[in-house]
Amino acid sequence: MGAASRAMWAGLVLAALLLAQSPAAAALPRFAEAPEYRNGERCPAPVAGAGVCDPGLVHIAMTLDAHYLRGSMAAIYSLLKHASCPESLFFHFLAAEGGGAPAVADLRAAVAASFPSLRFEIYPFRADAVAGLISASVRAALEAPLNYARNHLADLLPRCVPRAIYLDSDVLAVDDVRRLWETRLPAAAVVAAPEYCHANFSRYFTEAFWNDPVLGARVFAGRRRAPCYFNTGVMVIDLRRWRVGNYRQRIEWWMEMQKEKRIYELGSLPPFLLVFAGEIEAVDHRWNQHGLGGDNVFGSCRPLHNGPVSLMHWSGKGKPWDRLDAGKPCPLDHTWKSYDLYIGENDSSASGQSRLKMQQLTAEQASSMCNGISDDNFLTSCRLLQLD
Ligand SMILES: *[C@@H]1O[C@H](CO)[C@@H](O)[C@H](O)[C@H]1NC(C)=O
Ligand SMILES: *[C@@H]1O[C@H](CO)[C@@H](O)[C@H](O)[C@H]1NC(C)=O
């Protein structure tokens, strides 16, 4: 065999090896590498050998799946970019296992490729841990088992992790997450989150629930405060208190109840409300400017609520990446786009920075974003978002 043909064979073998690996790898989209962010001088010094148990860490928990990976990547990037101590963030990712979900090794490779020095762990989450507990609801997407993964954080994360900030994959931080991390939780509280007391709390439960002689208002009697709606997409959770109080079992008790009597409609939120409404510690609304997804994919654009903004949340049906791909973005979706690391199949300029520059808002997009805002605080926030 001549040198040329040996080289050819080596090439073929290599190609065959790459092909053999590609079916799983091809399932995940490609992402650019994010810029690297370093700790400032006043950040806690790492404790040698402490790893995930280092007391100086800020723990963030999120889910990872193929469908929302693009959102998760943008969320991670935004958290790092705005953190005063980005190297002190530790990410805990819950990933579905089986049922056609991407392999954990592939997810790990994708995250590490975009964030080479990110400190993170991926925890496989078995869908059958909740399958028997989920009842059919009006929106199929709400019933994905991974929506219930947040109930299992205290079981999955290492015991030395004292608290975690749980975040949905459709969020964007525009402020230092350490400020949320440092939320003080009074002894009686297990969860801290922004509360929305003007929202109609009764509509999260059925009439059958409110009319039931042993359920309804009785369930919330004796709570720290009147029960209010809160969004489970942004929560600070005291994992130690959660474990001691067996809160996963308390939530699952209500999920069992739901199978017998139809006490609510929407998926994973109501059992959380049943356990925690009126008991949580309220956090400033700036940490969950939710509802930016709107009611449907392309029809409705929602503005930010009044007041300052630290975290934007595209909850609701419409996701910014879907609207951008469809060429029908809402004004605020342009802000999301500036954190989008996704490399489309026809995108040849794959180098992260040049791509990210291209995604900056045009002046016109930026000016339309803050139109019609009268609240001073909010206008300032909106302008700050544009400068990002
Ligand atoms: C709240 O929702 C319930 C149930 O959907 C409804 O009956 C009630 O009128 C609503 N209350 C207000 C103040 O809108
Ligand atoms: C990529 O380019 C091909 C060929 O021009 C086209 O058929 C395909 O629709 C493009 N894909 C996307 C996502 O734009």
* Residue pLDDT tens, the chain, 388 long: 444 555 555 544 444 444 444 344 447 899 999 999 999 899 999 999 999 999 999 999 999 988 899 999 999 999 999 999 999 999 999 998 877 788 999 999 999 999 999 999 999 998 777 777 776 654 454 457 888 999 999 999 999 999 999 999 999 999 999 999 999 999 999 999 999 999 999 999 999 999 999 999 999 999 999 999 999 999 999 999 999 999 999 999 999 999 889 999 878 899 999 999 999 999 999 999 998 998 766 668 888 888 899 999 999 889 999 999 998 899 899 999 999 999 977 666 544 444 554 445 555 555 566 655 555 555 555 655 554 4
Residues 80 and 96 in one domain: yes
The pLDDT of residue 316 is: 87
Residues 336 and 314 in one domain: yes
How many domains, in total, are found in the chain?
2
Evaluate: CB of 211 within 6 angstroms of ligand 1.
no
Residues 146 and 85 in one domain: yes
**CA atoms of 117 and 334, how far apart (whole Å):** 27
Residues 182 and 271 in one domain: yes
Question: Is-contact 373 356, C-beta < 8 A?
Answer: no
* Residue 218: inside a domain: yes
**CA atoms of 195 and 181, how far apart (whole Å):** 17
Q: What is the CATH number of the domain that holds 232?
A: 3.90.550.10
- Point out the domain boundary residue: 288, 322, 356: 288
Beta bridge pairs of residue 227: none
Q: Please tell me the distance between residue 327's alpha carbon and the centre of ligand 2 in angstroms.
A: 14
Residues 346 and 216 in one domain: no
Pocket test for ligand 1, best of 196, 197, 201, 203 (most atoms within 8 A of CB): 203
Residues 383 and 252 in one domain: no
Q: Please tell me the distance between residue 200's alpha carbon and the centre of ligand 1 in angstroms.
A: 6
Residues 278 and 297 in one domain: no
Going by alpha carbons, the residue nearest to atom 5 of ligand 2 is 346
- Point out the domain boundary residue: 219, 254, 288: 288
Residues 155 and 196 in one domain: yes
Ligand with the closest atom to the CA of 201: 1
**CA atoms of 224 and 201, how far apart (whole Å):** 16
Evaluate: CB of 200 within 6 angstroms of ligand 1.
yes
Q: Please tell me the distance between residue 346's alpha carbon and the centre of ligand 2 in angstroms.
A: 6
Closest ligand 2 atom number to CA of residue 344: 13
**CA atoms of 215 and 165, how far apart (whole Å):** 31
* Residue 22: inside a domain: no
Range of the domain at 354: 289-387
Residues 221 and 249 in one domain: yes
CB neighbours (10 Å) of residue 229?
A: 16
The pLDDT of residue 19 is: 43
Residues 168 and 136 in one domain: yes
* Residue 225: inside a domain: yes
The pLDDT of residue 128 is: 74
* Residue 103: inside a domain: yes
Residues 207 and 304 in one domain: no
